[in-house]
Structure formats: C-alpha cells, structure tokens
Amino acid sequence: MPRAPTSAPAPYDSTNMNDAETRQPSDRIPRGAIAVVIVGLIASLGIYVLELRTSGSSAEQDWQTVEPVAVPAAMTVGDGGSFALARTSLSALPPNASGDLVFRVAGVVQIDSGKGSPPTSVRCDVTSTTGGDTFIARTISKRAAWPRPSDELQAQEVPELSIAKLSYKGADVQELPIRDVFRRYTDSSSPTLVDWAFSDEATQTWIWTMQKDTGSGTATLGYDVIFRTQERPSATIDCTARVGDSEARIRAEAEQQEWPLVDEATDEESADASNVE
C-alpha cells in the first residue's frame, strides 16, 4: 500500500503599508473566512473523490460498541511533570457479509512538562494484535488515522466524521464518529508539531514535538486510528514521553469484550419475523 507523505507561511508583515493604505476601508473578504470556505470545499471534494474511487456510496454509521480501555495510573516525568493516557476506548462495527469489520482505537495523551521550559515530545504506537490479515483502514489516499502530519497542530481541525473504506449495509465508504473522543487535537498554547512514522501496516505511530514545553498546565493530545480485520479486535497502545532528559513510558492492552459481534438491526428483524404467526 502507498505510504502517507509526511509544511507554515511567513507571517504577514504590515509595516510597509503607507498611511493612505491604512486609511482606506477594505472590501476584501477576510482571510479567515476564505480559509473556512476552502477547508469545507476540500472536505466535501474529498468525500466525493473517495466515492468515485470506490465506485459506490457513503453512509454514516455509529459504532455498535464503544468499550473503555483500562490504562495505568499517571506517571511523573521531568521536574514536577506528569504523563498519562485518558478517555481511551476500543470501538467496533459488526462484520459485513464477507466477514470484514473495522474497529477504532482512540483516546488522548495528557502531558505536563513541569518546571522550566524543557523541550517535550511524545511518541505513541498503536498496534493491532488481532493477527490474520489485519491492517490500518484507508480513507482517500491516506491511512484512516488522525491527526495528520502537521507543522502546526493547533490549526488542524478535527473532521465532523472519520472515513473508512468498507462495504457495509450497501455502502462502500463508512462515515464514523470521531468527535465523541475529542473535538480538538490539542488544547496546548505551545506550538506543536505532529508527524507519522512507519513500521508496518498494522501499526500507527504519532510523534508530537513541542520545542519549548507544554505551555501552561497539562497539554491534551488526541489520536484516532481505524483498523480493518476479520478477527476479534485487539491492540496495544505504547506511549513514551520525553521531557528534557527525563523519560516515561505507558503501555495499555485493548481487546473487544463483546464477541462475536452481531448486527443489532439484523437481530431485531429476525426476532420480529419469528413472532409472526
């Protein structure tokens, strides 16, 4: 499968404007409004292109199960800092007619660099341990994983829905919840870079970097990855934080508890049919 490629414009300088220019009212559309329109168009176009590529339709689905994942207690890191995983969950859809299903591992990392202004970074590897033919699902041209690589994470918006290719209930593309876990990729005031690293098709790796520190208080970093499999969903979450010269590591195991997964709608239809005399 193709690998996802892993760029911030120079600040606008108004010091060279003359007085006449500054006095003239502007009838131009604000740049912020233009950006919002462009983002919306790109998102809509993306879904449209995806449907063309799959020669099918898309449908909005809710995860049938959303199960919490137990995580270790918070750890200390740096000088008075802390490191933890929170709001961690495993979500899944029932298998389709071919036995394929998608499941999601999502949550947030909480990191506080503590005293001083030490450079801070976090690496999280989420690996499916289901075995068999399991891999990270696809969207248009990238892995079904969020956030995307970015030099300015604060400017990257969480989509209304995540998208994964899977034939299910007559649609080839599934639009699935993502904002149920987080609505921003970070709440830190500190400039944050995020990148992907690649090892295999069953592992998603994020690397968050803050050149100074986490800003005021604890920074929250959201992540979401969707896998495709025919097996019982399971995964490991392995995260390492580095604050200055100090390092801490947290590891969690996730496994689908409700198994096998059966389509609730199908069960209800079968029950109704059995009651017909």
Rounded average pLDDT per 10-residue block, the chain, 277 residues? 41 36 40 43 42 64 98 97 98 98 98 96 98 95 96 97 96 97 97 97 98 94 98 98 98 98 70 47
**Distance set, CA 44 to CA 115, 122, 140, 161 (Å):** 44, 32, 12, 12
Alpha carbons 137 and 130: distance in angstroms, whole number: 14
Predicted pLDDT of residue 40 = 41
Neighbours of 195 (CB within 10 A): 16
Predicted pLDDT of residue 264 = 83
Predicted pLDDT of residue 25 = 38
Q: Which residues pair with 171 in a beta bridge?
A: 168
Alpha carbons 48 and 268: distance in angstroms, whole number: 33
Predicted pLDDT of residue 140 = 79
Alpha carbons 14 and 1: distance in angstroms, whole number: 46
* Residues 6+ positions from 165 with CB-CB distance below 8 Å: 50, 54, 137, 138, 139, 172, 173, 174
274: left (phi over 0), alpha (psi -120 to 50) or beta: alpha
Contact 140, 53 (CB under 8 A): yes
Q: Are strands 234-243 and 246-255 parallel, antiparallel or unpaired?
A: antiparallel
Alpha carbons 103 and 191: distance in angstroms, whole number: 31
Predicted pLDDT of residue 181 = 97
Q: Where are the alpha helices (DSSP H) in 55-155?
A: none
